[in-house]
Amino acid sequence: GAGVSQSPSNKVTEKGKDVELRCDPISGHTALYWYRQSLGQGLEFLIYFQGNSAPDKSGLPSDRFSAERTGGSVSTLTIQRTQQEDSAVYLCASSLVGTSGRTDTQYFGPGTRLTVL
Amino acid sequence: GQQVMQIPQYQHVQEGEDFTTYCNSSTTLSNIQWYKQRPGGHPVFLIQLVKSGEVKKQKRLTFQFGEAKKNSSLHITATQTTDVGTYFCADQTGANNLFFGTGTRLTVIP
């Protein structure tokens, strides 16, 4: 079946502009995550959605960052008034929730490479 | 919050040599997941370790979870050029999100 998809694959924007990044998780996966990966760095957790529960926003770096997940499926990560330090690859992942209530393997999308000029 | 330290940050090996990366935490881990990210690619799940002292093998890869569940290792025997990439451990303790280590970037010299 289809994996996690993300769009666009690349986004170049000017400083100060808003951007929207989209993630389509694997069908049936109730958990969805957003991560950020700067060049040569590890993965930085941003936000986590699980079913209808309130999202865990503890990783969002500033109030310029927000995310929504409509209908428990597609998610959009919005960055307002982009700054050069926002340049990174933004990765989305989805997973099932195991019977113990813990998440299963995370399946990653190909990412969106954001460049802020 | 959880802090997962991964060493070394970089490793260059000759093809055929062995390679090991270590993941350490100051707190007891619930479970550890390992991911591989090829250059230019996205992380791909390799394995999950849950039990104290657990050892799992995948062909030339051996994964180990420490007895105290505070560390984990990934060992690759006789590296090949296809092993090139960054290997991440991820800690899932408490909440449902994963905390990724900084990764070890492996370069294999033919």
Q: What is the pLDDT along chain A (117 residues), one digit of tens a residue?
A: 589 999 999 999 999 999 999 999 999 898 899 999 887 777 888 998 988 888 888 889 999 999 999 887 999 999 999 999 999 999 999 988 755 555 567 889 999 999 999
Q: How many CB atoms lie within 10 A of CB B29?
A: 26
- How far, CA to CA in Å, does A53 sit from each of A30, A34, A50, B11? 10, 16, 6, 41
Q: Which of A33, A22, A85 is nearest to A59 (CA)?
A: A33
Q: What is the pLDDT of residue B95?
A: 52
How far is Cα A46 from Cα A65, in angstroms, rounded to an integer? 9
Q: Which of A3-7, B4-8, B74-78 has the lowest mean pLDDT?
A: B4-8
B45 in contact with A, Cβ within 8 Å:
yes
pLDDT of residue B12 exceeding 70, the answer is yes
Q: What is the pLDDT of residue B36?
A: 94
Q: How many CA atoms lie within 13 A of B70 on its CB side?
A: 5
Q: Are B5 and B29 in contact (CB under 8 A)?
A: no
Best-predicted range by mean pLDDT among A107-116, B38-47, B86-95?
A107-116
> What residues of B are in contact with residue A3 (Cβ under 8 Å)?
none
pLDDT of residue B97 exceeding 70, the answer is no
Higher pLDDT, A100 or B50: B50
Nearest CA in chain B to A48: B97
How far is Cα B38 from Cα B21, in angstroms, rounded to an integer? 16
B103 in contact with A, Cβ within 8 Å:
yes
Quick check: A42 and B100 CB within 8 A?
Answer: yes
Residues 15-44 on B with a CB inside 8 Å of A are 30-31, 33, 41-44
**Averaged pLDDT, B40-69:** 93
Q: Which of A85, A76, A66, A82 is nearest to A17 (CA)?
A: A82
Q: What is the pLDDT of residue B76?
A: 98
Q: What is the pLDDT of residue A2?
A: 81
Q: Are A80 and A18 in contact (CB under 8 A)?
A: yes
Shortest CB distance from B102 goes to which of A42, A59, A108?
A42
Q: How many CB atoms lie within 10 A of CB A19?
A: 18
> What residues of B are in contact with residue A45 (Cβ under 8 Å)?
97-100
Residue A71, φ and ψ in degrees, nearest 5 = 60, 20
> What residues of B are in contact with residue A108 (Cβ under 8 Å)?
42-44
Q: What is the pLDDT of residue B93?
A: 62
Name the minimum distance, in Å, from the CA of A102 to any CA of chain B. Answer: 6
